[in-house]
């Protein structure tokens, strides 16, 4: 089993970017927490971060035949990128959308996700635990763990 964990724009600045909203953990520390979980589940994980919509789309295309599922924090692309939504839909892999912050309790523009309709779940508001739960939901969907 191989899954992709994709971080969208500005998530490379985790730890220093608005820590009161996104927490104090840097991206490497977030990835380490995820790896600890995937190791315990015996799942291979590949991480990707980009600030560029097209690079994320290319990464999805490139991995579409070799990955089993996706956990993605699309950052601000969540709210308006129909191109990313189409890519998630096109690659036909189960995808869980995750957010560190609770996007329902912030500005109105964040309450809308154009990606959610092509995902099996959206998990938001639990910091790094959103990613960990996202992986568990994905694994349960893939039949790897009971939930």
Catalytic residues: 22, 99
Report the alpha-carbon distance of residue 89 to residue 83 in Å, rounded: 10
Report the alpha-carbon distance of residue 137 to residue 38 in Å, rounded: 12
Report the alpha-carbon distance of residue 30 to residue 128 in Å, rounded: 6
Cβ closer to ligand DQA: 15 or 142? Answer: 15
Cβ closer to ligand DQA: 73 or 133? Answer: 73
Residue 13 in the binding site for ligand DQA (CB under 6 A): no
> CA 69 → CA 72, 77, 84, 103, distances in Å?
10, 19, 16, 23
Check: CB of residue 132 under 8 Å from CB of residue 33: yes
Does residue 134 sit in helix, strand or coil? helix
- What mask, x for binding ligand DQA by CB under 6 A, covers residues 86 to 105? -------------xxx-x--
Check: CB of residue 123 under 8 Å from CB of residue 133: yes
By CB under 6 A, name the one of 33, 35, 110, 141 that touches ligand DQA.
Answer: 110
Residues that contact ligand DQA, how many (by CB under 6 A): 10
Q: Which stretch binds ligand DQA (CB under 6 A): 34-42, 44-52, 73-81, 83-91?
A: 73-81
Shortest spacing between CB 2 and ligand DQA, in angstroms: 23
Binding site for ligand DQA (CB under 6 A): 10, 73, 75-76, 78, 99-101, 103, 110
């Amino acid at each position: 089993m191989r899954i992709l964990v994709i971080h969208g724009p500005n998530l490379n600045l985790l730890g220093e970017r608005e820590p009161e909203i996104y927490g104090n953990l840097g991206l490497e520390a977030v990835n380490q927490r995820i790896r600890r979980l995937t190791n315990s589940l015996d799942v291979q994980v590949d991480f990707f971060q980009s600030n560029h919509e097209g690079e994320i789309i290319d990464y999805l295309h490139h991995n579409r035949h070799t990955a089993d599922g996706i956990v993605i924090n699309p950052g601000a692309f969540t709210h308006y990128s129909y191109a990313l939504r189409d890519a998630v839909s096109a690659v036909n892999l189960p995808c869980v959308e995750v957010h560190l912050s609770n996007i329902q309790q912030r500005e109105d523009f964040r309450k809308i996700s154009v990606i959610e309709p092509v995902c099996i779940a959206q998990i938001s508001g639990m910091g790094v635990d959103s990613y960990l739960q996202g992986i568990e939901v994905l694994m349960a969907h893939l039949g790897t763990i009971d939930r």
